[in-house]
Amino acid sequence: MTHSIAVIPGDGIGTEVMPEGLRCVRRAAELFGIGLSFEEFDFASAAYWSKHGQMLPDNWFDTLKDFDALYFGAVGWPETVPDHVSLWGSLLQFRRGFDQYVSLRPVRLLPGVPAPLAGRVPGDIDFVVVRENTEGEYSDIGGRIFEGTDREAVVQQTVMTRTGVDRIVRYAYELAERRGKHLTSATKSNGISYSMPYWDERVAALGAAHPDVRVDKFHIDILSAHFVLHPDWFDVVVASNLFGDILSDLGPACTGTIGVAPSGNINPGGAHPSLFEPVHGSAPDIAGQGIANPVGQIWAGAMMLDHLGHADAAAAIVDAFERVLARGEVRTPDLGGTATCTELGREIAAAI
Amino acid sequence: MTHSIAVIPGDGIGTEVMPEGLRCVRRAAELFGIGLSFEEFDFASAAYWSKHGQMLPDNWFDTLKDFDALYFGAVGWPETVPDHVSLWGSLLQFRRGFDQYVSLRPVRLLPGVPAPLAGRVPGDIDFVVVRENTEGEYSDIGGRIFEGTDREAVVQQTVMTRTGVDRIVRYAYELAERRGKHLTSATKSNGISYSMPYWDERVAALGAAHPDVRVDKFHIDILSAHFVLHPDWFDVVVASNLFGDILSDLGPACTGTIGVAPSGNINPGGAHPSLFEPVHGSAPDIAGQGIANPVGQIWAGAMMLDHLGHADAAAAIVDAFERVLARGEVRTPDLGGTATCTELGREIAAAI
Ligand SMILES: CC(C)[C@H](C(=O)O)[C@@H](O)C(=O)O
Ligand SMILES: CC(C)[C@H](C(=O)O)[C@@H](O)C(=O)O
C-alpha cells in the first residue's frame, strides 16, 4: 500500500524547508518500509498568483481531494500579493474546503534549544494547543461603509456554530483523557459578549461526559501571561481560531523558537485529506538566505506519518531531531548557530 | 486648586490594593503641596450587584462626570455575577461613556523584579502599549440563533470606525515622536479580512504625517512571540482593543509579574474624566489573603497625578517603588517574597 502525498512548498522559506522535510520523511519511509508517492504543486504561491491572478487553480479541490495527505510549506509574499488575499486564497481554503477542523500544535521545550525562559528545562514545557480551524474570528463576512469619508466604518463578523465549537472541544477533551487529564480553555468572555460566553458554555456542557478531566479557563490576556510565567501549568489547551493562532506562536516562542513548531490540520473523520505544515510562515525577512530552521517542517512530516498510521516512523524522526538538537553541533542561526537549513536537514536525516 | 478624585475599589484584590495606592498618592500630594479630595463609591462591585441587580446606579454618568479623575481598583467576581455582565455593566461603561479612547500601558522591566526571560536586565524592556479602548472587537452587537438545537450559532460583530482608528493611531504616532520614533502596529490582516486590513490601511495613511517615525507591523501571533524573544525591539506598540488587551498582559508578564503594571484610560481632550487602574484584575484566586502586589495600583496613581499636571509628584512615586523593589527587602509573594500588600504599600509610601 502506497500513501499519496501532495507537496505544496509555497513561498519564501517554505520552499527552503520543504526539501529538508521531504528528505527526512523519505528516509524514515525507506527504513520502515513505508510506500510513499509524492506529487509537487506550484500553486498557493505568489509566483502562481503573478501568472494566474489567483492563488489556486479552479479545480484545486478535485486535484487534491484524493491524496492521503497534503504536505505544505508556507504561503505569503506581501510584496507581490496582500496577505489576506494570498491566505484566504490558499491555506484557509484548504482548511475549510477539506474541513480540517482540528489544528493540532504540540509545544515542547527541546533539548539543545536555548530556552528564553529563565530556569526552564526540557520536560517543564510539554503541552498541545488544540485550535479550532474553520470558523470563529476568521470569517470573510463583513464590509465597509461610507468609504473614504469621515464616517467610514468596517464591520467584521465572528461566527461560532454548535457543530464547530462542540467538535473541537470534544476532540480536546478526548485528547486530554489520553494525556494528563487536564484541559485549559482560552476565553475572553469578560470583554466579548456573544461568541466567548457561548464558547464557555459549550466547554462546560461537554465536560459532563469527561468528569475525570480537570478543566480550567483563562481569559486570553492572562492566559498569554501564564504561558510565560507558568508554562508548566498546561497539558491540553483548547482555543478558538484566533486565540489558538496566538497561543500556538506564543507557546513555541516560550520554547525558544517558532522554527521548530509543527502543525497538523486534521480532518478527523478522514473524509478529506489532512494538511501538515510548520507553524512559522514564509518569513520574507530571512527568505533566500538558506538559514531557515527546517525542524518545524520535519516535525510536521513526522506528524503526517503518524496520521497515516506509522507511529514508529514518526517517533524515529522526532527522536532523530531531538538527538541532533541536543548534540548542538549543527544549529541554524535562530538556535544560536551558523548552519544552513540544508546542513541541519541532512544531519537529522542521517540520524534517523 | 483641588483635584477631585472618585475612588472605586471594586472587587477582590481591588479593595486590597486601593488603600495602598491611596496611601502613596496622598503622601506624594502632601509632599508636593497638591490639593486632592477623594470620594469613595461602592458600585462597580459584585456586592453592589447583589443588592441592586445592576453594577452601577442609573445616574452613574452624572455622579462621576465632574470628577477630575477616577481611581479604579478591579472588578469581577464570577461566583456572584458572570464576568461579561460585571464588566459590561461597569468598567466598559466608563471607558465608553467617558470616551476614554486611549489605554496607555507602560511595560518596563524593573530592578528587583525577578525577570522570567533569561538574560534580560532593567533597561532591556521599556515600551508602551497604546490600546484602542472603546470599539473594535469589544462590541455588544451580536446574538444567537436556533438556541438549544444542533443548528445553534452565535455571531459577534467587530466594529472599527475611521474616527476610532485614526485617533488612536494618531495618538500613538505622536507618542512615538516624543519617545524613540519607532511605532509597531499589531495586526492580523492575513486571517481577518475586513477589520484588520482596514487597520493596516489607516496606520499606513497616517504615517505620511510622521515621516521620521519608523513603522513596522506584525501579525498578532508572531508579535506575541517577539514579545518573548525580542522585547527590546519595541518602543510604542499600537493595537486594537483586543490585541492591546493581550499585549498589555503579555508585556508585563515578560517583565516578571502583571502585578506591577498600570493602565491609564485617557480621554485626551479632557471633556470627561480619565480613569486609572492596575492592569491586573480582581484575582479571585488570591483575594482575601492580603498578598496582592500593590505596585500596579500605586503606579496607576502616579499616572493619575501626571495626568493632572503633576509630573514631579508622579516621578517621585515611580522613583520610590523602583528603589523599594531594587532593595528587595519587602516583596509580595509574586515577587518571590512573603510581605503583605500593606507592608509593601507602607514601605513605598515611606520612600517617597
Ligand atoms: C476585565 C476586562 C474586561 C478588561 C479588558 O479586557 O479590557 C481587562 O482585562 C483590562 O485589560 O483592562
Ligand atoms: C498565515 C495565517 C493565515 C495562519 C493563521 O493565522 O492561521 C498562520 O498564522 C497559522 O497559524 O497557520
Q: Are B161 and A146 in contact (CB under 8 A)?
A: no
- The interaxial angle of helices B241-254 and B220-229, nearest 10 deg, is 20
Contact yes or no for B228 and A198 at CB 8 A: no
Q: What is the pLDDT of residue A140?
A: 87
Q: Which of A84, A242, A249 sits opposite B193 (nearest CB)?
A: A84
Buried b (16+ CB within 10 A) or exposed e, B196-221: bbbbbebbeebbeebeebebebbbbb
In chain A, which residues have pLDDT < 50?
none
Residue B275 CA, chain-centre distance (Å), reads 9
- Report in angstroms the alpha-carbon separations of A317 from A29, A207, A347: 10, 35, 12
Using a 6 Å cutoff on CB, does residue A190 contact ligand 1? Answer: yes
Residue B111's CB: how many other CB atoms inside 10 A?
15
Separation of CA A192 and ligand 1 centre (Å)? 10
Using a 6 Å cutoff on CB, does residue A87 contact ligand 2? Answer: yes
Q: What is the pLDDT of residue B114?
A: 87
- Per-residue tens of pLDDT for chain B, all 352 residues: 899 999 999 999 999 999 999 999 999 999 999 999 999 999 999 999 999 999 999 999 999 999 999 999 999 999 999 988 999 999 999 999 999 999 999 999 999 998 899 999 999 999 999 999 999 999 889 999 999 999 999 999 999 999 999 999 999 999 999 999 999 999 999 999 999 999 999 999 999 999 999 999 999 999 999 999 999 999 999 999 999 999 999 999 999 999 999 999 999 999 999 999 999 999 999 999 999 999 999 999 999 999 999 999 999 999 999 999 999 999 999 999 999 999 999 999 999 9
Q: What is the largest CA-CA distance in chain A?
A: 65
Tell me the three-class secondary structure of chain B, residue by residue. CEEEEEEEEECCCHHHHHHHHHHHHHHHHHHHCCEEEEEECCCCCHHHHHHHCCCCCCCHHHHHCCCCEEEEEECCECCCECHHHHHHCCHHHHHHHCCCCEEEEEEECCCCCCCCECCCCCCCCEEEEEEECCCECCCCCEEEECCCCCCCEEEEEEEEEHHHHHHHHHHHHHHHHHCCCEEEEEECCCCCCCHHHHHHHHHHHHHCCCCCCEEEEEEHHHHHHHHHHCHHHCCEEEECHHHHHHHHHHHHHHCCCHHHCEEEEECCCCCCCEEEEECCCCCCCCCCCCCCCCHHHHHHHHHHHHHCCCHHHHHHHHHHHHHHHHHCCCCCHHHCCCCCHHHHHHHHHHHC
- The interaxial angle of helices A295-307 and A311-327, nearest 10 deg, is 160
In 3D space, the residue among A237, A261, A264 whose CA is nearest the CA of residue A102 turns out to be A264
Residue B44 CA: which ligand is closest? 1
Q: Are B332 and B27 in contact (CB under 8 A)?
A: no
The ligand 1 atom nearest the CA atom of B133:
7
The ligand 2 atom nearest the CA atom of A133:
7
Chain A CA closest to residue B165: A153
Residue B124's CB: how many other CB atoms inside 10 A?
15
Rg, chain A, Cα only: 20
d(CA B314, CA A306): 59
A–B: how many Cβ contacts below 8 A?
Answer: 216
Q: Mutate which of A75, A87, A282 to test ligand 2's pocket (most atoms within 8 Å of Cβ)?
A: A87
Element (H, E) at A195: helix A195-207
- Report in angstroms the alpha-carbon separations of A213 from A16, A164, A175, A202, B273: 41, 21, 10, 15, 47
Q: Are B320 and B98 in contact (CB under 8 A)?
A: no
Q: Are A260 and A110 in contact (CB under 8 A)?
A: yes
Q: What is the pLDDT of residue A314?
A: 98
Using a 6 Å cutoff on CB, does residue A221 contact ligand 1? Answer: yes
Separation of CA B127 and ligand 2 centre (Å)? 26
* Sequence-distant (≥ 6) Cβ neighbours of residue B248 within 8 angstroms: A221, B103, B105, B107, B129, B131, B261, B263, B279
Element (H, E) at A345: helix A341-351
Contact yes or no for B191 and A138 at CB 8 A: yes
d(CA B85, CA A190): 8
Angle at A309 between CA A321 and CA A177, to 5 degrees: 85
Residue that the C-alpha cell 498589555 belongs to: B248
Separation of CA B186 and ligand 1 centre (Å)? 18
* Sequence-distant (≥ 6) Cβ neighbours of residue B88 within 8 angstroms: A193, B140
DSSP A77: B
Residue B278 CA: which ligand is closest? 1
Residue type, B269: G
Cα-Cα-Cα-Cα dihedral sign, residues A268, A269, A270, A274: negative
Instruction: Select the residue from A81, A135, A227, A249 to test the B interface by mutation, using most B Cβ atoms within 10 A.
Output: A249
Contact yes or no for A224 and B152 at CB 8 A: no
Contact yes or no for B152 and A161 at CB 8 A: yes
Q: Are B44 and B76 in contact (CB under 8 A)?
A: no
d(CA B114, CA B121): 10
Reported pTM: 0.96
- Report in angstroms the alpha-carbon separations of B60 from A5, A322, B84: 63, 60, 19
Chain B CA closest to residue A163: B150
Q: Which of A83, A139, A220 sits opposite B190 (nearest CB)?
A: A83
In 3D space, the residue among A11, A7, A8 whose CA is nearest the CA of residue A292 turns out to be A11
Residue type, A59: N
Angle at B263 between CA B261 and CA B265, to 5 degrees: 175
d(CA A162, CA A51): 40
